[in-house]
Amino acid sequence: MKQDVLDYSNCETEQIHLLGSIQPHGFLLAFNLDDLIVENVSVNFELVTGRKYQELIGTHLREFVGIQRFFEIEAALKGDDLKSICPFTMFPNDMKSTKPFQVNIHKHDGLLILEGEPFTGNNFDETRIFRQAFTNVFPELFSAKKISDLLAGVATEVQRISDFDRVLIYQFDPDWHGTVVAEQRRDFMGSYLNHSFPATDIPQQARELYVRNKLRVLVDVNASPAAIFPVENKRTGKPIDLSFSTLRSMSPVHVEYLQNMNVTASMSISILKDERLWALIVCHHNREKTVDYRTRSILEFLAQLLSTLVSRMENSEELEHRLYLKRETEKLLFELSQFQDIKVGFERVGEKPCKIAGSGGFAIFHEKEIHSTGIVPCESDLVAIGDWLNARTEEKFFFTNKFSENFSPANEYRGITSGVLAIPLSQSRGSWLVWFRPERIKEIQWAGGPQDSITIDESDQRIRPRKSFELWKEQIFGTCDPWTESEIVKANEFASGVTQLLLEKFLRQLEVEEQINKEREEFYQQREDWLAALAHDLQTPAIGAKLLFELLLKGSLGKIPEHLRSVLEKLEDSNSGQLSRILKLVEVFKYETKARALSIRPVDLEKTISICIAKLEPFARSRKVTIFSTCSIKGASALADVEALEQLLSNVLDNAIKFSRESGTVEISCELSKSKVHLHVLDHGIGISEEDQKYLFERFWQGGSPGKYHVSVGLGLYLARQIADRMGCDITCVSEVEKGSVFTVTLPTM
């Protein structure tokens, strides 16, 4: 025999309910539900009853059970209540056998299936069994404080009632591996208490069958099964489905499995919790053994009682645990609510978040920051975990007790993080609450090596179960205790509470910001009102002075002595500068507060440049500076506000003139590139140092030494930047000391 790497799905797909045979100690008849005529019969019928099976094909149910029993069955069929008449004892008509049979019937796939087993005729005192159970056993079971005590009590009672040599209670884990958690046995039977069995020992389709049919008996593993003739159900074209059959024969693999375990007879009873297979009561006997219907019924009742008690005890423990977690969650959320900054709150509460999910460590990922407490990976590993969580596209929250299987880098620190429970704080990516559990190395006592659970016989390529059930120990690394439903639920509730706190904080911030904005708007309005009043108060005398200077210099008020003319010219120049600065200050505030509305539309660049040159020409002449344009882009236009663009260019030209030497030049040139137009203003003035260029567009900054008699407040280029930002264009400067500067205004074109 050779051990191969097997595809266990072959075992999973074995159709154990369609084997086409029954156990040979009983017989089976299948009747057409429509006319109650026999269609199928087990070929051992003659051995069991003395009547040839071929004679039964085509006969009516009435001929087999007798008229009185037929009417009972017919009425039960109409009322869909076959269980009410089962089992019944009978001597089948025209049988040579003098032994009575215990008969069960059920319907499935268009057939009425009748199964008969020899009536044992034992002195089974059902009343005595129930009386003992109710007076002695049931009170003991109901008073059990631990599930382990409950299971041990049930194992003892099942052995007393059934008289099997060994009774095991075999509990499934989430991966469907099974562990014997309770045992009652006779001394000559080996012990499997605390031994584990791999999931492949009871494959998926067998587990599903245990849910549909909760009790299964194998009378003799060494007996040859009796075939059903014909094997097929006419309606399905497949062997008769024996899922609900009492006599269904066993899979050859399972039969050999029991033989290798030195078991001759067996019985299994399902324990369900929340309609899911939770455990099996497994009974073993070293000799052939039948179990009559009454015994089976009492054991099924006991199993149902066990299911109820297990559910009650687990639910009670779960409820108590949930209440504890609920209290811890509420206390922690209240503590966190006392802090304006939730990050500070998490720093102050320490390791309390760990209690919510029974973890060793905790971390909050929020606003690109990580705060952790307890036993957690290092910061770089936390960042990597956060990136991995953000990249996931599966369900919103994530939990595992084998993190390294999901995230391979976690192998490096599995000792401190084998379990992860991660809950997103909101719909936006990047905010998580994450709990960490350290590794818990588990030692499993396997009943035989799990890797040897299935082999292939080289001679016939048949699947064979393992032969050895000797103790085989294995250590499992990289796992921890699974997260319970309560822990996952409360972690989600805690995350919802934290999200609510963040939302409340955000809303409070909005209220504060709204109040600040309101006060800011009021301040801006007051400032504008004050500025308007100030500008009016300053402009009125300045304009009056300007008119007076003009009249005096023109001689309208009489001839001015020559020695006073130069003084008046300087005063006029100073007054004009003052008036210009007042107007510029007003414009700065308008752009800063966005009080100045813009209308972006195509602007004729050639015309705009001409207007700006004309406006600055008098000032340039007074400075003995020549200003001219070399733009040769005829009809070119840019997207801008025409008045704002004029003001921007005027300020740049004004600055270039101020810092030009006498007899210097200021040139405006144009350049097109893709969807942009670049306006260059070139001067040959004193230039700007590299250090000073950092502050060039700041408010009230003044660089270099402007020409004689010129006074500046440092608002021209600042205003140019404000206008450029408002229009969505750009302004830059390249300059070299003593060589001059080039200012470039970049605008979008059509």
**pLDDT tens digits for range 23-63:** 999 999 999 999 999 999 999 988 777 778 888 899 999 98
**How far apart (Å, rounded) are the C-alpha atoms in residues 692 and 135?**
101
- Between helix 562-592 and helix 716-727 the angle, nearest 10°, is 30
Q: What is the pLDDT of residue 406?
A: 92
Q: What's the token pair of residue 663? A: 């007899």
- 10 Å CB burial of residue 380 (0-12, 13-18, 19+) is exposed
Write the pLDDT tens digit of every residue in 416-444: 999 999 988 875 667 889 999 999 988 88
The pair of structure tokens assigned to 415 is 């000792």
Cβ partners under 8 Å of residue 104, min gap 6 = 86, 87, 114, 115, 246, 293
Residue of 466 and 45 predicted with greater confidence? 45
- Which pLDDT score is estimated for 125? 56
Q: In what order do the strands lie in the sheet with 665-673?
A: 626-629, 665-673, 676-683, 740-748, 730-736
Give me 555's structure tokens: 């001689």
- For residue 442, the one-letter residue type is K
| Residue 7, pLDDT score | 45
Q: Please state which of the ranges 142-151, 187-196, 468-477 shows the lowest mean pLDDT.
A: 468-477
Helices (H), strands (E): how many in the chain?
A: 19, 29
- Residues 196 and 72 sit within 8 Å (Cβ to Cβ): no
Residue 363: strand, helix, or coil: strand
Pick from 668, 705, 704, 664: nearest CA to 684 = 664
Please check whether residue 153 is in contact with residue 141, taking contact to mean a CB–CB distance below 8 angstroms.
yes
- Across residues 679-707, what is the average pLDDT? 78
β strands within 378-533, DSSP E: 398-400, 419-424, 432-437, 442-447, 454-456, 463-465, 471-476
Write the single-letter amino acid at 658.
K
Q: What is the mean pLDDT of residues 103-131?
A: 78
Residue 87: which of 42, 126, 41, 58 has the closest Cα?
A: 126
Query: What pLDDT is stored for residue 232 in this prediction?
Result: 93
Angle formed by the axes of helices 485-554 and 342-349, nearest 10°: 140
Greatest Cα-to-Cα distance within the chain, rounded to the nearest angstrom: 160
Mean pLDDT throughout 212-216? 93
What residue spans of 363-484 are helical by DSSP H?
379-391, 403-406
Look up tokens 């840019």; give the residue. Answer: 638
Residue 160, pLDDT above cutoff 60: yes
HSE-up of residue 444 (Cα within 13 Å, Cβ side): 18
Token code pair at residue 144:
């059990």
Cβ-Cβ contacts under 8 Å for 568 (sequence gap 6 or more): 549, 552, 553, 560
Gap between the Cα atoms of 575 and 573, Å rounded: 5
Tell me which residue has tokens 């008045």. 643
| Residues above pLDDT 70, as percent of the chain | 84
* Stretch 448-452: mean pLDDT: 69
pLDDT category of residue 580 using cuts at 50, 70 and 90 = low
Contact 723, 647 (CB under 8 A): yes
d(CA 373, CA 609) in angstroms, rounded, equals: 65
Which pLDDT score, from 0 to 100, does residue 290 have?
Answer: 92
Query: What pLDDT shows up at residue 417?
Result: 92
In degrees, rounded to 5, the angle at the alpha carbon of residue 328 between the alpha carbons of residues 322 and 334 is 135
Task: Report which residue type is found at 473.
Answer: K
Stated as kind and residue range, the H or E segment containing 394 is: none
Q: Mean of the pLDDT values across residues 532-538?
A: 65
Query: What is the SS3 assignment for 370?
Result: strand
Q: What is the mean pLDDT of residues 156-170?
A: 94
- pLDDT value of residue 72: 92
Q: 146 pLDDT band (50/70/90 cuts)?
A: confident
Confidence of residue 258 (pLDDT cuts 50, 70, 90): very high
- The pLDDT assigned to 595 comes to 60
**In degrees to the nearest 10, what's the CA dihedral of 645, 646, 649, 651?**
-110
Is the pLDDT reported for residue 354 higher than 70? yes
Task: Give the end-to-end CA distance of the chain in Å, rounded to a whole number.
Answer: 84
Q: Is the peptide bond before 561 cis (omega within 30 degrees of 0)?
A: no
**Contact criterion met (CB below 8 Å) for 602 and 639:** yes
Residue 699 banded pLDDT, cuts 50, 70, 90: confident
pLDDT at 123 exceeding the cut of 60 = no
Query: Which parts of 425-466 fold into alpha helices (H)?
Result: none
Question: In this structure, are strands 276-285 and 637-640 parallel, antiparallel, or unpaired?
Answer: unpaired
Quick one: tokens of 128? 């005595």
Write out the H or E segment, with its range, that includes residue 575. helix 562-592
Phi-psi bin for 358: left (phi > 0), alpha (psi -120 to 50), beta? left
DSSP secondary structure letters along 483-529: PPHHHHHHHHHHHHHHHHHHHHHHHHHHHHHHHHHHHHHHHHHHHHH
Structure token pair of residue 20 = 């086409």
**CB neighbours of residue 601 within 10 Å:** 10
Tell how strand 626-629 and strand 665-673 pair up.
parallel
> 585 CB contacts (<8 Å, ≥6 apart)?
531, 535, 713, 715
Q: What's the whole-number average pLDDT of the chain?
A: 83
Distances (CA, A) of 268 to 280, 359, 469: 6, 38, 19
Q: State the pLDDT at residue 711.
A: 44
Length, in residues, of the chain: 750
The pLDDT-based confidence of 474 (bands split at 50, 70, 90) is confident
Contact 273, 100 (CB under 8 A): no
pLDDT digits (tens, 9 = 90+) for 294-329: 889 889 988 998 898 888 888 777 777 778 888 888
Whether pLDDT at 461 is above 60: no
pLDDT tens-digit readout, 53-98: 888 899 999 988 889 999 999 999 998 889 888 888 887 654 555 6
Chain centroid to CA 322: how far? 22
Say how far apart CA 745 and CA 750 lie, in whole Å.
16
**Per-residue confidence at 21, pLDDT binned at 50, 70, 90?**
very high
Tell me the percentage of the chain whose pLDDT exceeds 90: 37
What's the pLDDT band for 460 if we cut at 50, 70, 90?
Answer: low
Eight-state DSSP code of residue 189: S
Cβ within 8 Å of residue 680, ≥6 positions away: 667, 668, 669, 670, 671, 742, 743, 744
* 251: DSSP letter: P
- The 10s digit of each residue's pLDDT in 712-736 is 556 788 888 888 888 889 999 999 9
User: Is the pLDDT at 559 greater than 90, yes or no?
Assistant: no
Q: How many CA atoms lie within 13 A of 568 on its CB side?
A: 18
